[in-house]
Homo-oligomer: A and B are copies of this chain.
């Protein structure tokens, strides 16, 4: 962990903790301190000048700053990084007269705060990886005890570990004679535990000597865009390595529908399967290059042979393509997947570069559009074990919604369109370097403070940036409830090709050769997307006889969910108003669920029951959905009673 320093912003007296290396302008944004910075924090516009009162920062200088000013303590906030305690003064021309913007911006990225983590597993007594490694010291055979080698091991497991009902793999039958004699009848048995007592445990590997402290598993999330993997120490839940990589299928189309269409070609399914297999296999290889951390493991490298299990979660299309199941009907009404349940596989049988004994679990799905990634999130977040009435929501092109608790669960998918992924927006883009991801507004002259990913010259607006831009424009009454620009005297607002527009970054300060703007068509696209999601949640809640006010907890998943600004999301009516501490960010819920399944055989068992009892609704079949959607086509909503806090801004 980096050291924490105290950053003080004058004249407001706002203090914040920051780590060494953090950009000063990002720290200011976190503190709710506005500093004009339209270029996105790339040092191009030179508007973010601040003065160092005490302490020192790293950098902070470009040709936009004269030597004289630099000597007087001026720095460009966007180019300065923290290296110690520092007191910053924001000059009038850079800041706003009225002080800070708001006093309560919830801290972002609280992933794990209330999440069902390894400690919860231990507390609930369900920390139990599905693959165990057990050391056995056996007596050698003699005239009075000439049981078979396997019989000796089976009795040893019964006597020393109370493990019964064992099956055994062919590969173990073929090597056990040598293995048990190599270290004088001291061996390690790798056991795949049955999901319940009714089924048989299975001996999947034997090693000579005692190796029970080396037991590793892999969790994989197959996203349509990105595939993530984690290497997990199954003895303690520690994540030894993580790796993300673009899904190699992306060359065949960005969304699931284009992948399905490609898979319908001759050999298309095979190609799609090979692409994602290559991505996963590369990730596995990369995870294994990771050196074992120094917490008691004596060997440097983790061998492939020590990986005993893998859990894979993905949406229904990704799962079909990965397993080689024909996905055609997923895209055609009535949207019938080939299968939603999958038996435990042998990892090698699936084409994974894993040892022949390794077990592969593929997360079950609910339907064509509520997939294993969502089920994994429900399992991994512990939602299925909570008393609280919870909304689980994963926002992307589709928003998948699950509502319920340990007693019941309902779910639906609703098509939000690509706005939250930067799609359908004039200057929208993916959440990549140069994307505006944060924004504030000087309420006096309406000058922007744009922050881009990587502090690179601005290239466009990503989903989370879009949300915060629109909510900020709305909060400052720059746009009205219909998403139209109010008549305000501001140099940045002008008539454009698609209605009125606000210039976020002038072309000369941008990384592109045009002005980066947000216009009324963009705003309208955004409103339709957020309306679809809110209407989906409301329809589902009301369809089961509850009201929005009954929700006791919201779990936000997905890349967009991880970066979402809560106040903004509630202000524009994307999420229902709820206390910030009742919101849990889980980030990649799919990966988290895969990891949790690796660590708890109980979850592997429970998932079957959870999927059975999760009721899936088709929103378009519920007549109220359309009314709810139309009512949500306002900021934040036609019924302002649903958003009491937002009333101040109307």
> What is A's interface to B at a CB cutoff of 8 Å?
141-143, 145-151, 167-170, 173-174, 176-178, 198-200, 323-326, 328-329, 333-343, 345, 349-350, 367-368, 621
Please give 15 more A-B residue pairs, beta carbons under 8 A apart, in addition to A146-B336, A149-B338. A141-B329, A142-B334, A146-B335, A146-B368, A148-B340, A149-B336, A149-B337, A150-B339, A167-B343, A168-B343, A170-B323, A173-B323, A174-B323, A174-B324, A177-B325
Give the most central of A142, A167, A338, A367: most B CB within 10 Å: A338
Residue from the list B198, B328, B342 in contact with A173, Cβ < 8 A? B342
For the complex, what is the distance from the CA of A148 to the CA of B616, rounded to whole Å?
Answer: 13
Interface of A is mostly: loop
With A168-B343, A199-B199, A199-B200 already in contact, the answer to whether A148 and B326 are too (CB < 8 A) is no
With A168-B343, A199-B199, A326-B178 already in contact, the answer to whether A173 and B338 are too (CB < 8 A) is yes
For the complex, what is the distance from the CA of A174 to the CA of B342, rounded to whole Å?
Answer: 12
CB A445 to nearest CB in B, in angstroms, measures 55
For the complex, what is the distance from the CA of A345 to the CA of B171, rounded to whole Å?
Answer: 11
For the complex, what is the distance from the CA of A157 to the CA of B178, rounded to whole Å?
Answer: 45
Q: List 21 A-B contacts (CB under 8 A).
A: A141-B334, A143-B333, A148-B336, A148-B337, A148-B338, A148-B339, A149-B338, A150-B338, A150-B339, A151-B339, A151-B340, A168-B343, A170-B324, A170-B350, A173-B342, A174-B323, A174-B326, A176-B339, A178-B326, A198-B199, A199-B199
When C-beta atoms are compared, the residue in chain B nearest to A350 turns out to be B170
For the complex, what is the distance from the CA of A621 to the CA of B368, rounded to whole Å?
Answer: 67
CB A577 to nearest CB in B, in angstroms, measures 35
Chain B positions within 8 Å of A345 at CB level: 170
CB A613 to nearest CB in B, in angstroms, measures 14
Q: What 9 pairs between A and B have smallest CB-CB spacing?
A: A150-B339, A146-B334, A177-B326, A167-B343, A148-B337, A141-B336, A148-B340, A198-B198, A143-B334
For the complex, what is the distance from the CA of A336 to the CA of B173, rounded to whole Å?
Answer: 14
When C-beta atoms are compared, the residue in chain B nearest to A344 turns out to be B167
CB A606 to nearest CB in B, in angstroms, measures 17
Chain B positions within 8 Å of A335 at CB level: 146
Chain B positions within 8 Å of A349 at CB level: 170
For the complex, what is the distance from the CA of A174 to the CA of B324, rounded to whole Å?
Answer: 6
When C-beta atoms are compared, the residue in chain B nearest to A202 turns out to be B343
CB A612 to nearest CB in B, in angstroms, measures 11
For the complex, what is the distance from the CA of A345 to the CA of B147, rounded to whole Å?
Answer: 23
Chain B positions within 8 Å of A147 at CB level: 336
With A170-B350, A325-B174 already in contact, the answer to whether A150 and B341 are too (CB < 8 A) is yes
Give the most central of A145, A335, A339: most B CB within 10 Å: A339
For the complex, what is the distance from the CA of A341 to the CA of B169, rounded to whole Å?
Answer: 11
Give the most central of A148, A168, A177, A329: most B CB within 10 Å: A148
Residue from the list B143, B150, B167, B170 in contact with A340, Cβ < 8 A? B150
CB A71 to nearest CB in B, in angstroms, measures 71
When C-beta atoms are compared, the residue in chain B nearest to A368 turns out to be B146
Residue from the list B173, B329, B333 in contact with A325, Cβ < 8 A? B173
Chain B positions within 8 Å of A150 at CB level: 338-341
CB A375 to nearest CB in B, in angstroms, measures 14
Chain B positions within 8 Å of A148 at CB level: 336-341
CB A1 to nearest CB in B, in angstroms, measures 44
CB A163 to nearest CB in B, in angstroms, measures 15
For the complex, what is the distance from the CA of A147 to the CA of B145, rounded to whole Å?
Answer: 55
Chain B positions within 8 Å of A341 at CB level: 148, 150-151, 168
Chain B positions within 8 Å of A143 at CB level: 333-334, 621
Chain B positions within 8 Å of A177 at CB level: 325-326, 328-329, 338
When C-beta atoms are compared, the residue in chain B nearest to A346 turns out to be B170
Chain B positions within 8 Å of A350 at CB level: 170
CB A493 to nearest CB in B, in angstroms, measures 47
For the complex, what is the distance from the CA of A367 to the CA of B339, rounded to whole Å?
Answer: 44
CB A374 to nearest CB in B, in angstroms, measures 16
For the complex, what is the distance from the CA of A349 to the CA of B342, rounded to whole Å?
Answer: 21
CB A565 to nearest CB in B, in angstroms, measures 37
When C-beta atoms are compared, the residue in chain B nearest to A620 turns out to be B143
Pair A339/B146 contact, Cβ less than 8 Å: no
For the complex, what is the distance from the CA of A329 to the CA of B142, rounded to whole Å?
Answer: 12
CB A356 to nearest CB in B, in angstroms, measures 11
Chain B positions within 8 Å of A336 at CB level: 141, 146-149
CB A369 to nearest CB in B, in angstroms, measures 11
With A323-B170, A343-B168 already in contact, the answer to whether A176 and B338 are too (CB < 8 A) is yes
For the complex, what is the distance from the CA of A199 to the CA of B200, rounded to whole Å?
Answer: 8
For the complex, what is the distance from the CA of A198 to the CA of B194, rounded to whole Å?
Answer: 12
When C-beta atoms are compared, the residue in chain B nearest to A337 turns out to be B148
For the complex, what is the distance from the CA of A564 to the CA of B211, rounded to whole Å?
Answer: 56
For the complex, what is the distance from the CA of A368 to the CA of B149, rounded to whole Å?
Answer: 11
CB A488 to nearest CB in B, in angstroms, measures 49
CB A181 to nearest CB in B, in angstroms, measures 9
Chain B positions within 8 Å of A176 at CB level: 338-339
CB A31 to nearest CB in B, in angstroms, measures 51
Chain B positions within 8 Å of A151 at CB level: 339-341
Pair B170/A339 contact, Cβ less than 8 Å: no
When C-beta atoms are compared, the residue in chain B nearest to A194 turns out to be B199
For the complex, what is the distance from the CA of A334 to the CA of B324, rounded to whole Å?
Answer: 50
For the complex, what is the distance from the CA of A335 to the CA of B339, rounded to whole Å?
Answer: 49
When C-beta atoms are compared, the residue in chain B nearest to A269 turns out to be B174
For the complex, what is the distance from the CA of A341 to the CA of B146, rounded to whole Å?
Answer: 15
CB A365 to nearest CB in B, in angstroms, measures 8
Chain B positions within 8 Å of A325 at CB level: 173-174, 177
